[in-house]
Amino acid sequence: MSDLIQMGKKAKEAAVVLSVLPTTKKNQALCHAAEALLAAKEDILEANAADVAAAEAAGIKGAFIDRLTLTDKRLEEMAEGLRQVASLDDPVGEVLSMKTLDNGLMIGQKRVPMGVIGIIFEARPNVTADAFGLCLKAGSAVILRGGKEAISTNKRVVEVFQRALAEEGLPEGVVQIVQDTSRETANEMMRLNGYLDVLIPRGGAGLIQSVVQNSTVPVIQTGVGNCHIFVDESADLEKALRIVLNAKTQRPGVCNACESLLVHEKLAETFLPMIGKALQEKKVEVRGDETTCQKVPGAVAATEEDWATEYADYIISTRVVKNLDEAIEHIRRYTTGHSEAIVTENYTNAQRFLNEVDAAAVYVNASTRFTDGGQFGFGAEIGISTQKLHARGPMGLKELTTTKYIIYGNGQIRE
């Protein structure tokens, strides 16, 4: 039996325990895990330092190292995250509907745990704590498979959690980490049907595509965001300026940042030079169509590829469109279905944009940066789904659950 199947079996057994665990017990376990994390701080930071040193020795640098590195502050945030999840409402057990049929059968739809959740992620040790906390609160066991560069850290963190769980009388199958970080085990995990109920990749486009292409376990696709803002003829230019600058520059590396700006042709003389200059002052490179290049000094010509690119950087593609129809058409062609916004004072155009643009989140007169579980009031999120099945948009605790029908009968049979 492979290690992964053994982990799958353990996780399924743990899921049975979790499925009927009272909320107070789950919260207690989460708080205990948070304490244990802080108590083991030295130990975890030591393991992390070894991971970071090995990564640097392998020539890795920059943002990757930053994401890999744990500090006192980050560990405290991880612990605080677990306590926050404990404070959220338990989604399990909610009865979504209940009705009595003509034949007297009473049928209810009840929210129940998913069972076993798989998470494949990159070298960000904080995901280990986040995913564990959310899955536990949602009543599911989790099998984690993190990037190889963080393996020492992840192992240590999971050991700490397992010890805390054991002290609460809970099985270690509640949270497990895949120790062998080879590509083969990742591929095996993607085909662990019968053990995993869902697989959620968290990371860059490459990781997500690999999971989508290879997984036979149901996947929730997260993340890629080629987000547009269309500034309509009737836009309040002050609002438009503020929204575009915020969506592009407040945190350019994230999936809900704006990547592409569409401007109504009637604003080519007014708003376009103004926003171009303001973006450039914030160190944003403007890649534009012909009109943009004429109106924005320093803008460079955009290629076809630019319209489809999620830069996740200080770059924006910019195009002038004839009207709302052309804006919607452009978005339809290049959207990744994440977040799309219009800035307009025209009621009908606002409603049309909301109705006709097909994305997880569609905005009128607000920054796309709000697409986030925390901002939406979910308390926490496991990721942002850009697929249409199961969950769309920020996924909180509810999106980590499923439902079952419960039927109360009195001897009914089907005629």
Catalog residues that contact its own copies under the rule CB under 8 A.
Answer: 16, 19-20, 99, 101, 105, 107, 112, 114-115, 193, 197-198, 212-213, 216, 218-221, 236, 238-239, 242-243, 245-247, 250, 332, 354-356, 358-367, 369-371, 375-377, 387-390, 392-393, 402-414
Least separation in angstroms between residue 162's CB and its own copies is 24
Q: How far apart are alpha carbons 339 and 363 in whole angstroms?
A: 8
Q: What is the DSSP letter of 370?
A: G
Quick one: 212 or 268, whose CB is closer to its own copies? 212
Quick one: 235 or 263, whose CB is closer to its own copies? 235
Q: What is the DSSP letter of 244?
A: H
Least separation in angstroms between residue 343's CB and its own copies is 9
Quick one: 84 or 250, whose CB is closer to its own copies? 250
Quick one: 57 or 413, whose CB is closer to its own copies? 413
Least separation in angstroms between residue 235's CB and its own copies is 10
**Tokens 């990721």, residue?**
383
Least separation in angstroms between residue 108's CB and its own copies is 9
Quick one: 68 or 328, whose CB is closer to its own copies? 328
Quick one: 153 or 371, whose CB is closer to its own copies? 371
Least separation in angstroms between residue 359's CB and its own copies is 7
Quick one: 161 or 363, whose CB is closer to its own copies? 363
Residue type, 89: D
HEC string for 164-233: HHHHCCCCHHHEEECCCCCHHHHHHHHCCECCECEEEEECCHHHHHHHHHHCCCCECCECCCCEEEEECC
**Tokens 């915020």, residue?**
246
Least separation in angstroms between residue 50's CB and its own copies is 36
8 A C-beta contact, residue 149 and residue 123:
yes
Nearest to 89 by CA among 34, 26, 35: 26
Least separation in angstroms between residue 54's CB and its own copies is 34
Least separation in angstroms between residue 146's CB and its own copies is 23
Region of 117 please: left (phi>0), alpha (psi -120 to 50) or beta.
Answer: beta
Least separation in angstroms between residue 338's CB and its own copies is 11
Quick one: 113 or 288, whose CB is closer to its own copies? 113
Quick one: 42 or 238, whose CB is closer to its own copies? 238
Q: Is 325 exposed, middle or buried (0-12, 13-18, 19+ CB in 10 A)?
A: exposed
Cβ within 8 Å of residue 368, ≥6 positions away: 225, 227, 229, 247, 256, 257, 258, 338, 339, 340, 341, 361
Q: How far apart are alpha carbons 25 and 31 in whole angstroms?
A: 10
Quick one: 61 or 332, whose CB is closer to its own copies? 332
Nearest to 111 by CA among 140, 134, 85: 140
- Reported as half-sphere exposure (CB side, CA atoms, 13 A), residue 169 has a value of 5
Nearest to 219 by CA among 394, 9, 389: 389
Q: What is the DSSP letter of 58?
A: T
Least separation in angstroms between residue 190's CB and its own copies is 11
Least separation in angstroms between residue 276's CB and its own copies is 19
Buried b (16+ CB within 10 A) or exposed e, 79-117: bebbebbbebebbbeeeeeeeeeeeeeeebebbbbbbbb
Q: How far apart are alpha carbons 223 and 204 in whole angstroms?
A: 8
Quick one: 73 or 213, whose CB is closer to its own copies? 213
